[in-house]
Chains A and B, each alone.
Chain A
Amino acid sequence: MTSSASALLDVLAAEGGGGDTGFQAPTVEEFYPEPLAAFSLLGVDFEITRITLIMWLATALMIGLMVAAVRKPSIVPGKLQFLGESGYSLVRDGIARDVIGPKGLPFAPFLASLFFFILANNAMSIVPLAQISPMSKFAFPLVLAVITWVVYNWVGIREQGAGRYFKDAAVPPGVPIGALILVTPIELLQVFVIRPFTLAVRLFANMFAGHMLLAVFALGTVYLLQVGNFSIIFSPFAFLMALIMTFFELLVIVLQAYVFTVLTATYLNGAVEPAH
């Protein structure tokens, strides 16, 4: 989609006959900005980029918001407390309790942390001046997915016992023995590889693509204005698309945070309840 959009803009630019460098479509380099600081610690090279700062800012803002919400807790909540409570209740009641059941409430803090962390970082993709989500860097969704993977496997072993948990994962009950040749590898792959991988890739790809789309239309708007011929009449359309895509991105921001949390809860549910 990104390449086709940039190709279209390239065509438009070519028709304009600018003759100079043409439209510079956003590239993957968008996600590798210049490091603001670089140092080496324990043999690992650290690069502090603006994306790192954006993540810290988003996380700090979310922590600040949450702490402010519960600073003076009262039975009749103020506006901020109500906001925080609504968010936490959405995860606690809407996800932890509804997906996992009564056993799900202990996981509410973890699920809420996931949800708010992803939400805050995703939101940065449409915050002016930041305009990129740290979640569009594969490392961050991967961290969350791996943590989720560790948590649900650990919960499964703790709740059902290692033997039972791995046996149920490899040999789902009620499957004919003949089918196990197919089912067992698929199931094992599914539980221990595909789940965390899809979790990470889903979030990463959505935020990556979202940023690319926004960047294409934003840069396109500016380019069509500056190219200096009749292309200027297409500029408002590109701007309109950028606007529409921003609202679409808002939807994706919330949806992806929610989907990640709900899927985590679903996996936790599978770990808490023995397969039947």
Chain B
Amino acid sequence: MIILAAEAHNPLIPLVSEIIIGTITFAILCLVMFKFVVPRFEQVFVARREAIEGGMERAEAMQAEAKAALEQYRAQLAEARNEAAQIRDQARAEGQQILVELRTQAQEESDRIVARGEEQLATQRQQLVNELRGQIGTLAVELAGRVVGESLADDARRRGTVDRFLAELDSMATAGDGRTGVPVSEGNR
């Protein structure tokens, strides 16, 4: 049967019409593949690769940006620290200066107060001395008058005596640092 059939048709001898039909059909498929399907596939591949690479580039850019921001932040922080330290140092120096100034001022003030006090003291003392001198003179004359029992009316004489006495007293006080014993011993003498 097979042999008979093979004699009728040899499968290895192609028909011209089949060759033409096959060529046309394959050509149509090729046309669609070349003009439509493959370009679109390639477009998708390119788009996908770009999407992936773009994503990676974006990520890298963001990383770089973050790094730059961190650097900037660090630099600012260091600067701020520096500044703070400077301000602190300056403040300390100023404080020191203010302290010194205040001290000198206070010193001057106290010096001035002390000087004025001394001055006042000296004036008051002088006043007192003058006053005392006058009173002592009067008292002494009165006392002496009582003791003697007569009035020492002779002003001129009396004034001379008192003044002399007081001068003596003064000189004694300056020489013996104002001791009380001296005028007494002088009086005794």
Contacts and interface: CB of A to CB of B under 8 A. Distances in A.
B37 A66 contact: yes
Contacts of A140: 18, 22
Contacts of B29: 59, 62-63, 113, 116-117
A158 B122 CA distance: 131
Contacts, number: 124
B30 interface: yes
Interface in A12-62: 24-25, 27-29, 31-32, 44-47, 52, 55-56, 59, 62
Most-contacted residue by chain A among B8, B14, B34 (CB, 10 A): B14
A116 B13 CA distance: 25
A109 interface: yes
Given A27-B5, A109-B34, A112-B38, A144 B26 contact: yes
Interface of A: 2-3, 6, 24-25, 27-29, 31-32, 44-47, 52, 55-56, 59, 62-63, 66-67, 69-70, 73-75, 77, 81, 84-85, 88, 92, 108-110, 112-113, 116-117, 134, 137-140, 142-144, 147, 204, 208
Contact of A77 (B4, B22, B44): B44
Contacts of A113: 26, 29-30, 33-34
Q: Interface extent on B, as a size class? A: 35 or more
Contact of B33 (A3, A28, A112, A147): A112
Contacts of B15: 47, 139
Given A27-B2, A70-B41, A139 B33 contact: no
B187 interface: no
B32 A66 contact: yes
B156 interface: no
A139 B25 contact: no
A111 to B, nearest CB: 10
A139 B22 contact: yes
B84 interface: no
A208 B41 contact: no
A108 B44 CA distance: 15
Nearest to B26: A117
Contact of A139 (B8, B14, B40, B47): B14
Contacts of A204: 11
Interface in B1-55: 1-2, 4-6, 8-9, 11-23, 25-26, 28-30, 32-34, 36-38, 40-41, 43-44, 47-48, 51
A169 B11 CA distance: 32
A72 to B, nearest CB: 10
Given A28-B5, A108-B38, A139-B15, A75 B51 contact: yes
